[in-house]
């Protein structure tokens, strides 16, 4: 039986609240996570293209994080203009305290249309090897769409996604390989007053219910004040943190106290398995993304064929003083700002500069400050109409969708043990907004179905 179109909104809202598709809004009241009522149609080939890239991106990360000199070489020049980069670089440890690395990342793409060859091409927005969110919520919204569309055309062709399950499975694997101890737990580093807490709790409950792994939630500040290293292990609240999973620590606001800085260093120096460690976090910076778009640099880390596959989905990313034909990248950005996005070394949304604001910002920056930014060609995604539900109201809007593929990679002594794609996330936003942001209330979570 299918739900009548007139009942779809109320059925979706009932499902969302019953299954914890919720967050705190800015007034710290509970509300549902914004979502899309009608899933997005996609070609099977376009999706398979993105899936094929996930293990390559994982491999790239694993190779980069072994090369601290590479990270320091490209990031140190930014440190004088960007105290956050300076702080993170100062946390790099000479010695690797844990041979096991677990990466949980998400690679975000827009689908574009190549007018010459008349085919779709995914273009990468960025990789997030740090605190890649919505593991739980993407799975729940996907199940909501399964419920809403049952066995009709959309329901039958819906693409299932279960990233939180894949993440939990790999966390369990890493946990049991290295920490067969009754006191062991997973330490989740969180921000105080997290509004997206239920997404994090979803992973926590899955780990406990399915794998018997206990999670401790702490801020970095609390770790700095109470954590200890004994025989290499990180001890918090009389437990050993076998794995430390960061959902904080990607913005300077997470390091306002000395205790939080001490906490982060303590974690890095201990043998806890860090998701991510500092090298992985640095490998995910926009500056490193920019550097890797140069084929000769990418080829240092990947063989020819996989490198060529990544090059196909990259758009141009430049240093501002880079020469592009007759002009510098900066001059081009001043002339045609609508073609670019100006990005600082920040994560978490709301930091980028678009359109006419680019010229204005550049005029106010010193040359040193400019070094801490990269200039990215603006991607022109395919648009479509979607019914966006925010704060219980549905509205049809012309939208674009950012498709993220989660990747999980487990390695030991630099040997890769697991390297897999872990499902998808779709964030759909109105074409009116430069930036998305599900938490900010501009984008809704969505699902995909195959066009047959
Ligand atoms: P953050 O680390 O803050 O998530 P992103 O690089 O993902 O930074 O940019 C935030 C958002 O801005 C993206 O989700 C996307 O909607 C938009 N955006 C970023 N880069 C581009 C680009 N090159 N072209 C078009 N939109 C972009
Ligand atoms: Mg992003």
Instruction: Tell which one of 121, 126, 350 to mutate to probe ligand 1, the residue whose CB is within 8 A of the most ligand atoms.
Output: 126
403: Cβ contacts below 8 Å, ≥ 6 apart: 42, 50, 108, 109, 110, 111, 122, 424, 425, 426, 448
228-284: per-residue pLDDT in tens? 999 999 999 999 999 999 999 999 999 999 999 999 999 999 999 999 999 999 999
CB 202 within 8 A of CB 33: no
Backbone angles phi, psi at 91, to 5 degrees: -90, -5
CA of residue 72 to ligand 1 center, whole Å: 25
Residue of higher predicted confidence among 441 and 381: 381
Average pLDDT of the residues in 27-41? 96
- What six digits make up the tokens of 198? 């239920």
CB 193 within 8 A of CB 251: no
Give nearest CA residue, ligand 1 atom 19.
125
Q: Which atom of ligand 1 approaches the CA of 351 most closely? A: 3
CA of residue 347 to ligand 2 center, whole Å: 7
Q: Using CA atoms, how far apart are residues 346 and 245, in angstroms rounded to an integer?
A: 19
Closest CA to 170 of 344, 366, 410, 387: 410
CB 37 within 8 A of CB 387: yes
57: Cβ contacts below 8 Å, ≥ 6 apart: 105, 107, 127, 310, 407
CA of residue 435 to ligand 1 center, whole Å: 6
Q: Using CA atoms, how far apart are residues 313 and 310, in angstroms rounded to an integer?
A: 6
Average pLDDT of the residues in 301-308? 98
CA of residue 399 to ligand 1 center, whole Å: 15
169-221: per-residue pLDDT in tens? 999 999 998 877 888 999 999 999 999 999 999 999 999 999 999 999 999 99
The ligand with the least distance to the CA atom of 338 is 1
Q: Using CA atoms, how far apart are residues 287 and 372, in angstroms rounded to an integer?
A: 8
Lining residues, ligand 1, CB within 6 Å = 108, 125-126, 341, 343, 347-349, 351-352, 376, 378-379, 402, 435-436
CA of residue 247 to ligand 2 center, whole Å: 14
Average pLDDT of the residues in 43-63? 97
197-211: per-residue pLDDT in tens? 999 999 999 999 999
The reported pLDDT for the residue numbered 248 is 97
Closest CA to 335 of 345, 344, 325: 325
The ligand with the least distance to the CA atom of 340 is 1
pLDDT at 358 over 80: yes
pLDDT at 3 over 90: no
Q: Using CA atoms, how far apart are residues 157 and 376, in angstroms rounded to an integer?
A: 35
3-state secondary structure 361-414: HHHHCCHHHHHCCEEEECCCCCEEEEEEEECCEEEEEEEEEEEEEEEEEEEECC
Q: Which atom of ligand 1 approaches the CA of 437 most closely? A: 14
64-79: per-residue pLDDT in tens? 999 999 999 999 999 9
Give nearest CA residue, ligand 1 atom 17.
435
CA of residue 39 to ligand 1 center, whole Å: 22
pLDDT at 1 over 70: no
DSSP 287: H
CA of residue 108 to ligand 1 center, whole Å: 9
Could you write out the DSSP letters of every residue in 48-60? HHHHHHHHHHHHH
Instruction: Tell which one of 329, 333, 341 to mutate to probe ligand 1, the residue whose CB is within 8 A of the most ligand atoms.
Output: 341
Backbone angles phi, psi at 374, to 5 degrees: -125, 155
CA of residue 182 to ligand 2 center, whole Å: 38
- CA distances from residue 281 to 195, 206, 215, 285 in whole angstroms, order as listed: 23, 25, 22, 7
Share of the chain above pLDDT 70, in %: 100
Give nearest CA residue, ligand 1 atom 20.
125
Closest CA to 196 of 370, 338, 20: 20
Where does 83-150 show beta strands of DSSP type E? 100-114, 119-128
CA of residue 350 to ligand 2 center, whole Å: 10
Q: Using CA atoms, how far apart are residues 428 and 90, in angstroms rounded to an integer?
A: 37
Share of the chain above pLDDT 90, in %: 90
pLDDT class of 151 with cuts at 50, 70, 90? confident
69-78, 149-158, 254-263, 310-319: range with lowest mean pLDDT: 149-158
54-63, 112-121, 178-187, 249-258: range with lowest mean pLDDT: 178-187
Instruction: Tell which one of 316, 377, 435 to mutate to probe ligand 1, the residue whose CB is within 8 A of the most ligand atoms.
Output: 435
């Amino acid at each position: 039986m299918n739900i009548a179109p007139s009942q779809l909104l109320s059925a979706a809202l009932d499902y969302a609240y019953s299954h914890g598709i919720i967050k705190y809004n800015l007034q710290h009241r509970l509300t549902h996570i914004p979502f899309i009522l009608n899933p997005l149609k996609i070609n099977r080939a376009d999706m398979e293209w993105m899936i094929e890239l996930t293990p390559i991106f994982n491999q790239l990360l694993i190779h980069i994080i072994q090369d601290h000199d590479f990270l320091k070489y490209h990031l140190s020049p930014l440190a004088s203009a960007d105290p956050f980069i300076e702080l993170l670089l100062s946390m790099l440890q000479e010695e690797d305290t844990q041979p096991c690395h677990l990466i949980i990342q998400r690679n975000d793409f827009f689908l574009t249309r190549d007018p010459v060859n008349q085919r779709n091409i995914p273009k990468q927005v960025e990789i997030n090897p740090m605190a890649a969110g919505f593991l739980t919520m993407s799975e729940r919204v996907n199940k909501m769409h399964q419920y809403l569309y049952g066995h009709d055309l959309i329901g039958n062709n819906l693409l299932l996604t279960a990233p939180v399950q894949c993440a939990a499975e790999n966390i369990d694997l890493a946990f049991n390989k290295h920490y067969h101890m009754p006191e062991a737990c997973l330490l989740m580093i969180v921000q105080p007053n997290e509004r997206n807490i239920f997404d994090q709790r979803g992973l926590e409950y899955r780990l406990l219910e399915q794998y018997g792994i206990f999670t401790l939630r702490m801020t970095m500040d609390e770790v700095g004040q109470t954590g200890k290293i004994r025989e290499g292990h990180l001890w918090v609240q009389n437990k050993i943190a076998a794995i430390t999973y960061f959902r904080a620590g990607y913005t300077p606001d997470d390091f306002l106290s000395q205790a939080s800085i001490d906490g982060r260093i303590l974690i890095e120096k201990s043998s806890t398995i860090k998701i991510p460690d500092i090298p992985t976090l640095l490998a995910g910076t926009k500056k490193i993304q920019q550097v890797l778009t140069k084929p000769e640099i990418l080829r240092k880390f990947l063989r020819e064929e996989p490198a060529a596959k990544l090059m196909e989905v990259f758009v141009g990313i430049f240093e501002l003083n880079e020469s592009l034909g007759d002009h510098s990248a900066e001059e081009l950005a001043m002339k045609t700002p609508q073609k670019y996005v100006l990005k600082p070394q920040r994560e978490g949304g709301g930091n980028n500069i678009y359109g006419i604001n680019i010229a204005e910002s550049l005029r106010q920056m010193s040359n040193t400050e400019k070094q801490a930014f990269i200039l990215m060609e603006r991607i022109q995604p395919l648009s479509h109409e979607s019914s966006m539900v925010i704060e219980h109201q549905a509205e049809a809007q012309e939208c674009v969708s950012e498709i993220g593929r989660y990747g999980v990679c487990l390695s030991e002594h630099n040997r890769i043990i697991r390297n897999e794609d872990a499902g998808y996330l779709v964030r759909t936003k109105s074409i009116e907004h430069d930036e998305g942001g599900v938490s900010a209330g501009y984008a809704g979570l969505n699902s995909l179905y195959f066009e047959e």
